C-alpha cells in the first residue's frame, strides 16, 4: 500500500519544475513588437528621406516609444522571474518521505536559459545599433539637402541683387529722359508717373531682398544648430556602441548597460523631436 502511494506522489515534482521553466520564457512574445519597431523605424527613415511634410511622423515616434516601453517591461519581468526561486513540494503520503535533494540539472537549465536570454538581448542591441547607423546616414543626407537649399537661396538673392541694379540703371535713364523732355508738360507727367511706379517697384524689391536676406541668416543659424545636434547625436551613438561592446564582453550583469541605453534612446528621441520641429519651422519660414 505504501509503494502505491509513493508512486502516485512522485509525478508532482516534474510538473512544478516545468511550470518554473515556463516562467523564464517571458521574452518569447517580444519578437513581434521588435519587428514592428524596426518597421516603424524604416518608415520614419523613408519619410525623412523624401523631405516633404509628414503628418504621421509624431504618431510613429510615439508608437516607437510605446513599443520600447513594452519591450523593457517584458525584459524586467523576465529578470524578476529569473531571480525568484520556486521550491517543489511533495504531496503528502503515508510513507513520510523526506525533502528531496536539490536538482543540479535544474540549475544547469536555469543557467542555460539565462545565457539564452542574454544572447537574445545582445542580438536585439546589435539590431538597434544597425538601425541607429542607418538613421545617422539619413540625417547626413538631410544635412546635404539643407546645404543645397541654402545654396539655392543664395543664388536667388544674387539674382535679386542683379535685378535691383538693373532697375536702378533703368530709373536713371528715365530720369535723364524726363529732364530732356521738360518742355512738354503732358509728356513730363507721363514720365513722372512711370518714374514713380519704377521707384515703388524698386522699394518693394529692396524690401523683398532684405526679407530674403534675413531668412537666409536664420536658415544658416538653424543649419549650424542642426550640425551641432547631429555631432552630439553621433557622440551619443558612439557611446552606446561602446556600451554594447562592453555588454558582449561581460554577458553577466546587463542591468546598468540596459538602463544607460534606455537613457540614450530617450535622449535620442527628444533630439529627434527637436529636429522635426526645427524642420517644420524651417519649411514654414521658406514657404
List own/partner pairs for 27-32 with CB under 8 A and 24 or more apart. 27/74, 27/75, 27/78, 27/117, 27/120, 29/74, 30/71, 30/74, 30/75
Q: Nearest-CA neighbor of 215 among 157, 129, 142? A: 157
CA dihedral over 212, 217, 53, 137, signed as positive or negative: positive
- Say if residue 21's pLDDT is above 60: no
DSSP string of 164-232, one letter each residue: HHHHHHHHHHHHHHHHHTTT-HHHHHHHHHHHHHHHHHHHHHHHHHHHHHHHHHHHHHHHHHHHHHHHH
C-alpha cell at 107: 540549475
Residue 154 lies in a domain: yes
Contact 271, 234 (CB under 8 A): no
CA dihedral over 78, 80, 83, 89, signed as positive or negative: negative
Residue whose C-alpha cell reads 513722372 in the numeric block: 192
| Average pLDDT value for residue range 6-31 | 49
| Average pLDDT value for residue range 129-135 | 73
| Average pLDDT value for residue range 154-177 | 85
pLDDT band at 22 (very low <50, low <70, confident <90, very high): very low
Name the residue range of residue 35's domain.
Answer: 2-91+105-286
Position 35 scores a pLDDT of: 80
pLDDT band at 252 (very low <50, low <70, confident <90, very high): low
- Say if residue 4's pLDDT is above 80: no
Residue 212 lies in a domain: yes
Using a pLDDT cut of 70, give the percent of the chain over it. 67
- Say if residue 123's pLDDT is above 80: yes
Rounded Cα–Cα distance for residues 162 and 159 (Å): 5
Rounded Cα–Cα distance for residues 58 and 111 (Å): 42
27: left (phi over 0), alpha (psi -120 to 50) or beta: alpha
Exposure class string for 154-175: b at 16+ Cβ within 10 A, else e: eeeeeebeeebeebeeebeebe
Residue 96 lies in a domain: no
Rounded Cα–Cα distance for residues 74 and 26 (Å): 6
Position 14 scores a pLDDT of: 42
- Look at 26-30, 209-213, 258-262 and tell me which has the smallest mean pLDDT: 26-30
Read off φ and ψ for residue 54, nearest 5 degrees: -115, 115
Burial level of 64, CB count in 10 A (0-12/13-18/19+)? buried
Position 88 scores a pLDDT of: 42
Position 190 scores a pLDDT of: 76
Position 247 scores a pLDDT of: 67
C-alpha cell at 163: 535685378
pLDDT band at 58 (very low <50, low <70, confident <90, very high): confident
Using a pLDDT cut of 90, give the percent of the chain over it. 0
H or E element at residue 3: helix 2-9
Residue 269 lies in a domain: yes
pLDDT band at 16 (very low <50, low <70, confident <90, very high): very low
For the chain, the domain total comes to 1
Residue 199 lies in a domain: yes
Position 11 scores a pLDDT of: 45
Residue 28 lies in a domain: yes
- Say if residue 118's pLDDT is above 70: yes
| Average pLDDT value for residue range 75-91 | 53
Report which listed range, 85-94, 141-150, 207-216, 225-234, is most confident: 207-216
Q: What are the tens digits of pLDDT across the range 96-105? A: 444 555 556 6
Rounded Cα–Cα distance for residues 255 and 252 (Å): 9
| Average pLDDT value for residue range 252-266 | 71
Residue 99 lies in a domain: no
Rounded Cα–Cα distance for residues 37 and 240 (Å): 19
Rounded Cα–Cα distance for residues 128 and 111 (Å): 26
Residue 100 lies in a domain: no
Amino acid at each position: 500500500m505504501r509503494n502505491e502511494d509513493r508512486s502516485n506522489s512522485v509525478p508532482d515534482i516534474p510538473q512544478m519544475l516545468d511550470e518554473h521553466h515556463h516562467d523564464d520564457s517571458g521574452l518569447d512574445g517580444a519578437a513581434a513588437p521588435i519587428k514592428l519597431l524596426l518597421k516603424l523605424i524604416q518608415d520614419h527613415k523613408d519619410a525623412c528621406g523624401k523631405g516633404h511634410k509628414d503628418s504621421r511622423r509624431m504618431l510613429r515616434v510615439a508608437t516607437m516609444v510605446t513599443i520600447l516601453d513594452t519591450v523593457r517591461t517584458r525584459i524586467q519581468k523576465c529578470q524578476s522571474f529569473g531571480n525568484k526561486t520556486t521550491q517543489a513540494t511533495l504531496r503528502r503520503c503515508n510513507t513520510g518521505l523526506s525533502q528531496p535533494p536539490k536538482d543540479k540539472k535544474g540549475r544547469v537549465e536555469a543557467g542555460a536559459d539565462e545565457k539564452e536570454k542574454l544572447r537574445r538581448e545582445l542580438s536585439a542591441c546589435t539590431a538597434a545599433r544597425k538601425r541607429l547607423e542607418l538613421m545617422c546616414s539619413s540625417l547626413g543626407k538631410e544635412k546635404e539637402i539643407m546645404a543645397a537649399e541654402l545654396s539655392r537661396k543664395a543664388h536667388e538673392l544674387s539674382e535679386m541683387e542683379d535685378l535691383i541694379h538693373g532697375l536702378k540703371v533703368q530709373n536713371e535713364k528715365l530720369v535723364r529722359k524726363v529732364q530732356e523732355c521738360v518742355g512738354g508738360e503732358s509728356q513730363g507727367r507721363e514720365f513722372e508717373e512711370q518714374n514713380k511706379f519704377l521707384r515703388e517697384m524698386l522699394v518693394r524689391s529692396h524690401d523683398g531682398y532684405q526679407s530674403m536676406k534675413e531668412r537666409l541668416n536664420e536658415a544658416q543659424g538653424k543649419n549650424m544648430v542642426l550640425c551641432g545636434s547631429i555631432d552630439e547625436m553621433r557622440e551619443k551613438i558612439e557611446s552606446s556602441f561602446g556600451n554594447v561592446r562592453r555588454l558582449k564582453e561581460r554577458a553577466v550583469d546587463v542591468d546598468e548597460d540596459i538602463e544607460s541605453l534606455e537613457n540614450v534612446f530617450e535622449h535620442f528621441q527628444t533630439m529627434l523631436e527637436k529636429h522635426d520641429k526645427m524642420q517644420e519651422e524651417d519649411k514654414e519660414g521658406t514657404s
